[in-house]
């Protein structure tokens, strides 16, 4: 869903007071120029000091032109006076102009600081949410929880939870997700244990290594080791089954021993990796 400039929706500036915002909301409602949902959103966002502070930071990140408009310096208009101004009046106007300039500079510094925070914090979160939405059946219904940034050696991931509507129309419950910054790829971790062991190990290594142990490379290395053992186990089983117990007992027993050793090692490694107990 596209970001909405609530101030523009009400026809007020971002510097508007609560009284001005309430007045604008009342006028828009009376004229039926705003929906009830948008009116409720304006009330919950712009009339709550903390919510408005966070929204402003997001607004400056999403709509930099708003920030640019606010920070443009405009010289105060001077009133034309046909008579010659006295030295005292000129001095007073000069001091007022200096005060105005200093105030504008302070406001500019504050807005730039807020904008910087918005770009460094909110922009990555938007990227994470959009990447997760791209793999959902109903992206507009997504609700996000507890998104956090985790540093893994030289890699960075974002971990969190998401709940969205399923094909049937209802919400399917909260699922964990991992966002790989370097690959710009999001992976949803299913709540139920996957039927395929390879999927179980892959999802487990991402969540455990990326979000629990903060050592993603190590966890992925274990997953690759398990996959190698898993494939070796398949070949060992094929080798064992190629021998006849009646005709090749010694070969059958030797191949069975090799197969059991490989599968036992793979089983122990999977139990170390899996998050599905």
* pLDDT tens for each residue of 31-51: 888 888 889 999 999 999 989
Q: Are 161 and 175 in contact (CB under 8 A)?
A: yes
Burial classification of residue 148, based on how many CB atoms lie within 10 Å of its CB (0-12 exposed, 13-18 middle, 19 or more buried): exposed
Task: Output the pLDDT for position 216.
Answer: 87
What one-character DSSP code corresponds to residue 159? E
pLDDT by 10s per residue, the chain, length 277: 567 899 999 999 999 999 999 999 999 888 888 888 889 999 999 999 989 999 988 888 778 788 778 776 444 444 445 554 555 555 556 566 666 665 656 665 655 555 455 445 567 888 999 999 999 989 889 999 999 999 877 788 999 999 999 888 888 889 999 999 988 999 999 999 999 999 999 999 999 998 988 788 889 899 999 999 999 999 999 999 998 887 888 899 999 999 999 999 999 999 999 999 8
- Nearest 10 degrees: Cα torsion 6, 11, 15, 17: -90
d(CA 223, CA 147): 25
Query: For residue 158, what pLDDT is reported?
Result: 94
Classify residue 83 as exposed, middle or buried by CB count within 10 Å of its CB (0-12, 13-18, 19+): exposed
Element (H, E) at 151: strand 143-152
- Predicted local distance difference test score (pLDDT) of residue 62: 79
Distances, alpha carbon 1 to alpha carbons 4, 154, 170, in Å: 9, 33, 19
Token readout for 211 is 């979000």
131, 179 in Cβ contact below 8 A?
yes
Predicted TM-score (pTM) of this structure: 0.56
Q: What is the pLDDT of residue 12?
A: 92
What is the structure's pLDDT at 46?
A: 93
DSSP element (H, E) containing 201: helix 197-207
- Which tokens is 146 given? 């507890």
Do 60 and 67 touch, CB atoms closer than 8 A? Answer: yes
Cα Rg of the chain (Å, integer): 31
Which residue in 172, 96, 164 sits closest to 133, CA to CA?
Answer: 164
Residue 253 CA to residue 260 CA, distance in Å, equals 10
pLDDT tens sequence across 200-210: 999 999 999 98
């Amino acid at each position: 869903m596209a970001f909405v400039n609530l101030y523009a929706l009400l026809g007020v500036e971002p510097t508007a007071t609560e009284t001005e915002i309430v007045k604008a909301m009342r006028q828009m409602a009376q004229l039926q120029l705003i929906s009830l949902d948008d009116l409720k959103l304006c009330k919950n966002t712009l009339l709550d000091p903390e919510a408005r502070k966070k929204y402003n930071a997001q607004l400056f990140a999403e709509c930099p032109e708003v920030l640019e408009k606010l920070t443009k310096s405009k010289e105060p208009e001077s009133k034309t006076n046909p008579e010659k101004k006295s030295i005292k009046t000129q001095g007073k106007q000069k001091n007022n102009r200096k005060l105005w300039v200093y105030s504008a500079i302070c406001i500019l510094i504050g807005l730039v600081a807020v904008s910087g925070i918005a770009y460094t914090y909110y922009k990555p979160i938007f990227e994470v949410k959009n990447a997760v939405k791209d793999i959902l059946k109903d992206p507009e219904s997504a609700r996000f929880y507890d998104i956090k940034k985790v540093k893994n050696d030289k890699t960075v991931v974002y971990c969190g939870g998401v709940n969205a509507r399923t094909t049937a129309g209802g919400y399917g419950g909260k699922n964990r997700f991992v966002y790989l910054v370097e690959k710009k790829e999001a992976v949803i971790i299913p709540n139920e244990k996957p039927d395929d062991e390879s999927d179980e190990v892959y999802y487990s290594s991402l969540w455990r290594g990326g979000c629990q142990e903060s050592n993603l490379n190590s966890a992925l290395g274990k997953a690759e080791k398990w996959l190698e053992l898993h494939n070796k186990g398949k070949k060992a089983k094929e080798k064992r089954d190629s021998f006849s117990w009646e005709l090749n007992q010694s070969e059958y027993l030797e191949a069975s021993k090799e197969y059991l050793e490989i599968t036992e090692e793979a089983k122990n490694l999977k139990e170390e990796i899996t998050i599905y107990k």
